[in-house]
Amino acid sequence: MHKLLTDGPGKKLLLLGNEAIARGAVEAGLAFAATYPGTPSSEISQNLFQISMNSPLYFEYSTNEKVALEVTAAAANSGLRSLCIMKHVGLNVAADALMTLAYVGVKGGLVIITADDPFMFSSQNEQDNRYYAKLSGLPMLEPSTVEEAREMMGQAFTLSETLREPVIFRTTTRINHSTAPVVLGPIAQIQSEGDFQKDPMNLVTVPAVSRKLHVKLLENQARAAELSEASEYNREEGRGEFGVICNGVSYAYVHDAVKDLGIEDKTAVLRIGFSHPMPKNKITAFLKERSKVLVVEEGEPYMEEAVKAFAQEEGTDVLISGKGDNLFSRLNEFDPALVRKNIAEYFNVPYDAPKIPDLSDAPESPARPPNLCAGCSHRATYYAVKKAAEGTDTIYPTDIGCYTLGFLPPLSMGDFLICMGSSVGTACGFSRATNKKVVAFIGDSTFFHSGIPGLINAVFNNHNFTLVILDNGTTAMTGHQPNPGVDMAELNLEGYGRVSIENLVKAMGVSHVSVIRPFNVRKSIETVREALDFKGVSVVIAREQCVLYAKSLKKKSGRPFYVSDKCKNHRNCILELACPAFYIDNGKTRIDPGLCVGCSVCAQVCPEKCILPLKSVS
Amino acid sequence: MMKEKNMTTTRLIIVAVGGQGNLLTSRIIGEAALLSDIPVRMSEIHGMAQRGGVVESAIVFGDASSTIISDGEADVLIGFEPSETLRALNKCNAGTFVITNTAPSPPFTVAIGRGTYPDPEHVKRLIQNKTGRLMAFDAAKLAREAGTAMALNIVLLGAAVESGTLPVSRESVIEAIETRVKKDFVELNLKAFELGAGAANENR
């Protein structure tokens, strides 16, 4: 049985934030879930995927976040408790659906999880998705701890059903990827049979209907504001002239800081957990009792702006600060010492700064950037394209996935990236705006996610570039989730279809389509060269299963290679491929047999042909 | 905020290279704390762990709500790789107890000439001067002695527990190893744990 299906209310389990969130949904009787994977949200869906195999829960990996939201919107409008999970930038993709779904509303509870990533541990931006709640008019909840995340999920479903609106459940990386003991609650029965009642005058958003629905949304917001005022999640703790307003994980830092500074008897903390709509009355009442107020929130001054506006409306002249030169930044994430320092300085309280040792005389540790794995086929593909394009001035738009790492030297294959699918759209633009050759890279999952419209655009507008689809048969970066091109039979899962990338690309009207096996270096270079010579849109599908995924499927890897004595130390292998299986031992190039998976690419690259398979594996 | 029994706070940072088993070690420590009814909160950054990057875990025992540890505030630092221990020194202060493996795993940047690996003896002296106490030994060797280089994490865990700097008991950690590690590897890991504990006694 899955750990998160443990029956035993009151039992304490050590759970990752994302596990606590998944458990909270299960306890709430979650019937239907859809997602597109993205760090830091991925473990929520991974757990629900596993749970769905042995329970009535329906779960799917959708092709992208917009589709996932549409799928769950329909389930929720058929009365099912539904969950849609994504990382923060995923909500940009789903925003079109979100904005009008807010008008239409839901019947069964729908919770939309947006996992924000301050500091961008694994993201391309650190946008603050609280503004999506404001933009769409939807209610929003934000947990402050792992323990609270479990319980708040249940309340999110109740809130959604009370208001008949989707609820935005906003987390940040430090909630998703923190771990703490969590006390389990009872698991509710799943109601998994949905029913849809036709009601086109409220569900088909033609202008005449939407004008009415917008009125309803505003009425709902007024009701939500009342619930926010009364919510336990917006609670005042402590008393005193100092006021701190905080949300999310910042609450934990504030809590520790107030204790460490010994100002519990002087400080009142207002924790905002139901953060859209903001509880105006509660906040203005809080302001009136304080001499000074500090707003502690990572990201944008979302609460600060609201608090200042409330103060202005009420004519309260208490000093309110948050973001500023000597205060909090909009950049990065916070930490306990930073919050302690800012609270101490703002309220003029003495404190001891942590004594960080003077490390000016310490040698620098060599950088350890993440690297494509030993035996990763992307490395081989990049090598082939580089050789095929040698001597030409080529622009390489890239995309989001493991293969983005190829932008680092020595491969240096990646010149432009903004979002999922952007390799294809920007290739269209670069090929028109410049006279340069353009070769774009996109992974299989990203291609299904949002590369397809760009490629159709390229065919229709007759652009001139080569798109290399790096098909490693899985969504590798986020932990090997399935995508529409994956052979689900390999996972012993039945009831799935499969989309062929070749057939799809040909059907779009791409006339030059080729498939390479990147571990065959010479042939791959030749094939890519033909694609580059083609005038118009050409597609090269580089097909080789992700080496980590293959390992997880218990597939046999190749025999490791070694560098024989014939080595003349050209180091083409190490300098051009940068495979992490290589290391230098007393000036000699060596291969770590524990890392080498026998892809043989380096053996084909070596001018001396001195890299050979090991005879026996010890 | 959940009320838990009052106790002083101990802040532990574990740094490692992806694949060295940092996350499992943190899990074992967390489970051990849970078994001993010691309040515990942890966080980890592991987005690219499988791709050779640095993996850092923070474990906060006792009366605190935060799950991360600021610069200068670690009470204990366990480093699975010496240059990573060096990189994490900003987390330490003059009182920090540092436990480090001394067997280097140079990053790939060194092999391609984009970085220099620091001199191990120099690093050792430096850590000794900047922190409270250093326990440094070749944990990789002991792991191989236990049966596999993969057990390096448990060797260091054994040393940390034996040194008495963590609030978790030896018994609870062993119980956590027995429940968290795959059955076939329990015996090997317990051996690694004992070898680490032995190293701690030799390096007191």
pLDDT single digits (tens) A62-105: 999 999 999 999 999 999 999 999 999 999 999 999 999 999 99
Task: Inspect the interface and report whether the beta carbons of B51 and A372 lie closer than 8 Å.
Answer: yes
Q: Give the phi and the psi of residue A361 in degrees, each rounded to 5.
A: -95, 5
Residues A477 and A504 in one domain: yes
User: What residues of A are in contact with residue B131 (Cβ under 8 Å)?
Assistant: 357
User: Angle B170-180/B22-35 helices, nearest 10 degrees?
Assistant: 120
Region B163-179: mean pLDDT is: 96
- Confirm whether A357 is domain-assigned: no
Phi and psi at residue A316, to the nearest 5°? -85, 130
The rounded distance, in Å, linking the Cα atoms of B95 and B107 is: 29
Question: What is chain B's mean pLDDT, rounded?
Answer: 92
pLDDT at residue A177, rounded to an integer: 96
Residues A315 and A402 in one domain: no
Check pLDDT > 80 for residue A184.
Answer: yes
Strands ordered across the beta sheet of A465-471: A394-395, A437-443, A465-471, A537-543, A512-516
Q: Are A225 and A237 part of one and the same domain?
A: no
**pLDDT value at residue B47:** 56
Confidence of residue B50 (pLDDT cuts 50, 70, 90): low
Asked whether the beta carbons of A57 and A48 are under 8 A apart, the reply is yes
pLDDT at B4 over 50: no
Is residue A352, in this structure, part of any structural domain at all? no
Q: Do B53 and A368 touch (CB under 8 A)?
A: yes
Whether A111 and A211 map to the same domain: the answer is yes
Q: What is the spatial distance between Cα A223 and Cα A210, in angstroms, rounded to a whole number?
A: 19
Closest-CA distance of chain B to residue A305, Å: 26
Residue A583 forms contact with B (CB below 8 Å): yes
Instruction: Work out the mean pLDDT of chain A and round it to a whole number.
Output: 96
Mean pLDDT across the stretch B19-30? 94
Distance (Å, rounded) from C-alpha B90 to C-alpha B105? 21
Q: What pLDDT is attached to residue B53?
A: 85
Domain's final residue, options A298, A330, A347: A347
Both A431 and A477 in a single domain? yes
In a domain, A367, yes or no: no
Chain A hits for B43, Cβ within 8 Å: 174, 177-179
pLDDT digits (tens, 9 = 90+) for A472-522: 999 999 999 999 999 999 999 999 999 999 999 999 999 999 999 999 999
What's the domain range around A450? 377-552
Whether residue A439 is predicted with pLDDT greater than 50 in this model: the reply is: yes
Contact status of B23 with chain A (Cβ, < 8 Å): no
Find out whether A179 and B44 touch, Cβ atoms under 8 Å. yes
Which CATH number fits the domain that encloses residue A329? 3.40.50.920
Among A552, A573, A596, identify where a domain stops: A552
CATH architecture of B10-202: 3-Layer(aba) Sandwich (3.40)
CB contact under 8 A, B115 and A252: no
Q: What percent of chain A has pLDDT over 70?
A: 100
The closest of A455, A367, A379, A446 to A413, measured between CA atoms, is A379
A268 and A155 fall within a common domain: no
| CB atoms closer than 10 angstroms to residue A279 | 24
List, as one string, the DSSP characters of A31-51: -EEEE---TTTHHHHHHHHHH
**Under an 8 A CB cutoff, do A337 and B43 touch?**
no
Are B26 and B14 in contact, with CB atoms under 8 Å apart?
yes
Answer yes or no: do A171 and A191 share one domain: yes
Calculated CA dihedral for residues A228, A234, A236, A242, nearest 10 degrees: -100
Query: Percent of chain A at pLDDT above 90?
Result: 94
The answer to whether the beta carbons of residues A514 and A540 sit under 8 Å apart is yes
- Residue A205: CB atoms within 10 A of its CB come to 16
Residue A404 is assigned to a structural domain of this protein: yes
Q: Binning pLDDT at 50, 70 and 90, where does residue A245 land? A: very high
pLDDT band of residue A352 (cuts 50, 70, 90) is: confident
CATH code, domain carrying A29: 3.40.50.970
A9 and A97 in a common domain: yes
Same domain, A51 and A92: yes
Q: Which of B166, B167, B157, B151 has the alpha carbon at shortest distance from B199? A: B157
- Evaluate whether A538 touches A467 at the Cβ level (below 8 Å): yes
Residue A14 touches chain B, beta carbons under 8 Å: yes
pLDDT at position A618 is 44
Q: Identify the CA nearest to A289 among candidates A238, A226, A230.
A: A238
* Residue A294 and residue A398 share a domain: no
Per-residue pLDDT at B2: 39
Interval B87-97 mean pLDDT: 97
- Give me the phi and psi of A64, to 5 degrees please: -155, 180
Confidence class of residue B5 from pLDDT cuts 50, 70 and 90?
very low
Tokens of A276: 């859209």
Q: Which of A580, A560, A582, A559 is nearest to A569 (CA)?
A: A582
By the 10 Å C-beta count (0-12 exposed, 13-18 middle, 19+ buried), A591 is classed as buried
Amino acid identity of A104? Answer: V
**Averaged over A144-169, what is the pLDDT?**
98
Percent of chain B with pLDDT over 90: 82
Which residues are within 8 A (CB) of A425 and not within 5 positions of it... i.e. 6 or more apart?
Answer: A453, A454, A457
Distances (CA, A) of A596 to A549, A603, A614, B102: 15, 12, 11, 24
Asked if pLDDT for residue B199 goes beyond 50, the answer is yes
Spatial separation of the C-alpha atoms in residues B96 and B133, rounded to whole Å: 7
| Cβ contact A336–B114 (<8 Å) | no
Calpha distance A133→A247 (Å, rounded): 15
- Indicate the residue among A229, A251, A277 that finishes a domain: A229
* Domain annotation covers residue A250: yes
pLDDT at residue A556 in the model: 85
Which stretch of A119-133, A225-239, A567-581 has the lowest confidence by average pLDDT?
A567-581
d(CA B155, CA B142): 7
Q: pLDDT tens-digit profile of A373-414?
A: 999 999 999 999 999 999 999 999 999 999 999 999 899 999
Does A368 contact B52 at a Cβ distance shorter than 8 Å? yes
What pLDDT was estimated at residue B49? 55
Question: Is B43 close to A365, i.e. CB distance below 8 A?
Answer: no
Contact with chain A for residue B187, Cβ under 8 A: no
Contact B26 A179 (CB under 8 A): yes
Of B34, B69, B89, the CB nearest to A357: B89
Q: Which residues of A touch B3 (CB under 8 A)?
A: none
- Range list of β-strands (E), A398-501: 437-443, 465-471
Which residues of chain A have a CB within 8 Å of the CB of B70? 335-338, 354
Number of domains present in the structure of chain A:
4
Q: Is B120 on the interface with A (CB under 8 A)?
A: no
Cβ pair A336:B73 closer than 8 A:
yes
Mean pLDDT value across residues A198-224? 98
C-alpha B109/C-alpha B117 separation (Å) is: 9
CB contact under 8 A, B84 and A365: yes
Helix (H) or strand (E) holding B35: helix B22-35
Q: Are residues A566 and A543 in the same domain?
A: no
Residue with tokens 């990147």: A518
Interface A-B, measured as beta-carbon pairs within 8 A, has a size of 175
pLDDT at residue A617 greater than cutoff 80: no
- For the question of an ipTM over 0.90, the answer is yes
The answer to the question of residue A162 being in a domain is yes
> Distance (Å, rounded) from C-alpha B87 to C-alpha B15?
9
Same domain for A190 and A311, yes or no, is: no
Confidence bin at A559 (pLDDT 50/70/90): very high
| A537 within domain boundaries | yes
Residue A557 clears pLDDT 60, i.e. is over it:
yes
Residue A618 or residue A40, greater confidence: A40
Q: For chain A, say whether B200 makes contact (Cβ under 8 Å).
A: no
For the cut 70, the answer to whether the pLDDT of residue B48 exceeds it is no
Q: Is residue A301 part of a domain?
A: yes
Contact B72 A255 (CB under 8 A): no
Residue percentage of chain B with pLDDT more than 70: 94
